[in-house]
Chain A
């Protein structure tokens, strides 16, 4: 009896899987997108989907319908991302894989590589392009070493001697610190590391208040920054803050952000912004920038496919690297390299709590 039960269960499972095995869609290139639809980073997944939808609509309006995107959930974790990748590669027969977030991107890279499927990803990490240079391209998100060096220049320009570095325990913090040290070698950096989402910053800020710092540089995510700003305000700390979190640094409530805070970010193309807000009202700048990068990914793929009807990996990769696409998020293209160079600008929160561009 138990053997029959087991057989029925496994049989049912097989039937469900077979049902999902759809006939190959000739004529369209298939992208398997593994997004954090649920879990700790679900705000990314939600907005990436919006970017993808908008891109497909826009292409259709131009008469181009050559991309199909199949989305799976990474749950913001690595093992489910690998499961999703396996399903997309074997069941759905995708031509390339797109992942976002550091953990899933690192975990999926070897899987994509051994199946010969080009791996596009958007995350802060450089690990996939370092480990699998022939199979990976970083199509989005900042390069912390390069972008934080702009902070370093600012620190050097203002002759700052000692800074507090409030660092999230993530690899981009290490890269950012390197970037700062590169362009401001004489600045003393005191590091205070914290666990993302699990820190109330009371002790860190109490310690910071005791020492005299010229500036505070902070890395992390939006939820952490908001807590940090509110505790800074409570403890009446007025030190200048340099936020290395791009649009995550912004708060919907402008009173919350420290005066004079500086962050680096990229411009979002106005045209794209209008279309996005027309379709989805109420998107914050952070959400818009998330949507912009996946929007661009779809367009890169569409363009590459028109150049490479063979869908061959090397051809697609080269086509994307050589692309002159006018991206929704201001960039300088791949410049023949493995990652998209974003045009990063510095922004500052001024007295009227508006955001203005520096220099």
Chain B
């Protein structure tokens, strides 16, 4: 049935966007600025997995663990080397955003420099035949990706609401100075947010790298889509980013059933534009801290 296949396609691509969006949203909700270089963390992770596993030949599971460590380190590095010094100079969010764009371009081109422009594949999973479920064809890897994103949805919700670190992150987001007075070290919390957020980027990089082929420019595209998903779902509510990404996936796939498929990106951009204009806090977000 077409409808079921379209739904399956929506869930698959929605999950991919969700993997990128949730880390981005976690970082935003703690730090209140747009870390667009998150896309670079995803690209670096995918290429690291390629390099460690496909080139150096290290066993797959070990490669994944190394990749996740590298991803977290890279994210943390971006915070300490670029964002923190800028924040110390009281830079505005716009400057941080432009800096993140600079980092994104820098890293993507470094990847291009070291790995070349040709398409690479991580040869862990051979060409997959889909399974037929309820009239839709889907591969085992794609099912796994959907399951992972749902797990992350639940886990992040629990984390942000019930754990001490999660609550501290929200406190820092709301009011840094007040949190400081209450004994929360906001630099440490911010650092943690980058580590965890970029760890999520690492997961995204691994799974997306397995599902799609690797190109140095994939970071920008994924970031735009992930960012749209996060805005739609409510950038201040982390699990919302995942739900927003699913909505984006649905809008794209059902939209291009009728429109020529070239309009897929246009749908995403228009959706982004509409939400930024009319409901910048997204579906689930709270209206705090948007108009300064």
Using known A-B contacts A198-B221, A255-B126, determine if residue A226 contacts B260 with beta carbons closer than 8 Å.
Answer: no
CB < 8 Å: which of B129, B139, B262, B265 contacts A169?
Answer: B262
Interface residues of B in 246-292 (CB under 8 A from A): 253, 256-257, 260-262, 264-265
Given A192-B261, A210-B2, answer yes or no on A233-B128 (Cβ-Cβ < 8 Å): yes
Are A199 and B130 closer than 8 Å at their CB atoms? Answer: no
Q: Does A277 contact B (CB under 8 A)?
A: no
State which of B5-13, B158-166, B186-194 sits at the interface with chain A: B5-13
Number of residue pairs A-B, CB distance < 8 angstroms: 73
- Quick one: given A203-B261, A222-B119, are A234 and B137 in contact (CB under 8 Å)? yes
Q: Does A235 contact B (CB under 8 A)?
A: yes
What mask results when residues 157 to 198 of chain A are scored 1 for a CB within 8 Å of chain B, else 0?
000000000000100000000000000000000001111011
Q: How far is the CA of A236 from the CA of B139 in the complex (A)?
A: 11
Do residues A223 and B215 form an inter-chain contact, with CB atoms below 8 A?
A: yes
Give the Cβ gap from A54 to chain B, nearest Cβ, in Å: 20
Q: B260 touching A193 by the CB < 8 A rule? A: yes
B-chain residues with CB within 8 Å of residue A236 when the two chains form the complex: 129-130, 132, 137
Q: Would B6 and A206 count as touching, CB distance under 8 A?
A: yes
Give A198's nearest chain B residue, CB to CB: B265
Using a Cβ–Cβ cut-off of 8 Å, how many residues does chain B contribute to the interface with A? 33
List the A residue with the shortest CB-CB distance to B123.
Answer: A253
Contact of A156 with B by CB under 8 A: no
Nearest-neighbor residue (CB-CB) of A252 within chain B: B121
B215-A194 in contact (CB<8A): no
Interface: A111 (CB within 8 A): no
Q: State how many angstroms separate the Cβ of A104 from the closest Cβ of chain B.
A: 17
Quick one: CB contact mask for B122-163 with A, threshold 8 Å, 1 for yes?
010011111010000111000000000000000000000000
**CA gap between A37 and B218 in the complex, in Å:** 20
Q: Is there an interface contact between A194 and B213, defined as CB atoms closer than 8 Å?
A: no
Pick the residue among A169, A195, A235, A253 that contacts B137 (CB under 8 A). A235
Interface flag for A266 (CB, 8 Å) = no
Q: Is the CB of A202 within 8 A of B137?
A: no
Within 8 A of B (CB), among A194-245: 194-195, 197-200, 202-204, 206-207, 209-210, 222-223, 226-227, 230, 233-236
Name the A residues within 8 Å of B119 (CB-CB).
222-223, 226
Most chain B CB within a 10 A radius of its CB, from A197, A223, A234: A234
Interface size on A, residues (CB 8 A): 33
Tell whether, in the assembled complex, residue A206 and residue B5 are in contact, meaning their CB atoms are under 8 Å apart: yes
**In the bound complex, do residue B6 and residue A234 qualify as a contact, i.e. CB atoms below 8 Å apart?**
no
CB <8 Å contact, B261 and A204:
yes
Hey, what's the 0/1 contact readout for A30-70 against B, CB within 8 Å counting as 1? 00000000111011000000000000000000000000000
Do B215 and A206 have beta carbons less than 8 Å apart? no
- Assess whether B130 is in contact with A202, with CB atoms less than 8 Å apart: no
B22-59 interface code vs A (CB 8 A; 1 in, 0 out): 00000000000000000000000000000000000000
**A332-345 interface bits toward B, Cβ cutoff 8 Å, 1 = contact, 0 = none:** 00000000000000
Inter-chain contacts of B110 with A (CB < 8 A): none
- Would B130 and A234 count as touching, CB distance under 8 A? yes
* Minimum distance in angstroms from B152 CB to a CB of chain A: 22
* In the assembled complex, B185 has its CB within 8 A of some CB on chain A: no
Query: Do the beta carbons of A202 and B213 come within 8 Å of each other?
Result: no
Contact (Cβ within 8 A) B265 A200: no
With known contacts A43-B118, A192-B261, A234-B137, A203–B126 Cβ distance under 8 A:
no
Q: Are the C-beta atoms of B128 and A206 separated by less than 8 Å?
A: no
Q: Which of A40, A42, A235, A256 has the most CB of B within 10 A?
A: A235
Q: Which residue of B lies closest to A169 (CB)?
A: B262
| Whole-angstrom CA separation of A206 from B126 in the bound complex | 22
Contact assessment for A200 and B13 in the assembled complex, using a CB-CB cutoff below 8 Å: yes
**A207 to B121 Cα, complex, angstroms:** 27
Q: Mark A250-291, 1 if CB is under 8 A from B, else 0.
A: 000101100000000000000000000000000000000000
B256 surroundings in chain A (CB, below 8 A): 203
Query: Chain B residues with Cβ under 8 A from A192's Cβ?
Result: 261
Q: Which residues of B contact A42 (CB under 8 A)?
A: 116-117
Query: A57 to nearest B CB, angstroms?
Result: 24
Among B126, B130, B138, B262, the residue within 8 A (CB) of A193 is B262
Shortest Cβ distance from residue B8 to the other chain A in the assembled complex, whole angstroms: 9
Please list 28 pairs of residues, one from A and one from B, whose beta carbons are closer than 8 Å in the complex, sorted by A's number: A169-B262, A193-B261, A193-B262, A194-B262, A195-B262, A198-B265, A202-B9, A202-B253, A203-B6, A203-B253, A203-B264, A204-B261, A206-B2, A206-B5, A206-B6, A210-B2, A222-B119, A223-B119, A223-B213, A223-B215, A226-B213, A227-B213, A230-B128, A233-B128, A234-B128, A234-B130, A236-B137, A255-B127
Interface residues of B (CB under 8 A from A): 2, 5-6, 9, 12-13, 116-119, 121, 123, 126-130, 132, 137-139, 212-213, 215, 221, 253, 256-257, 260-262, 264-265
Known: A194-B261, A203-B261, A207-B257; 15 extra A-B contacts, CB below 8 A, are A38-B117, A42-B117, A169-B262, A198-B221, A202-B12, A203-B253, A203-B256, A203-B257, A203-B264, A209-B5, A223-B213, A230-B127, A234-B139, A235-B130, A236-B129
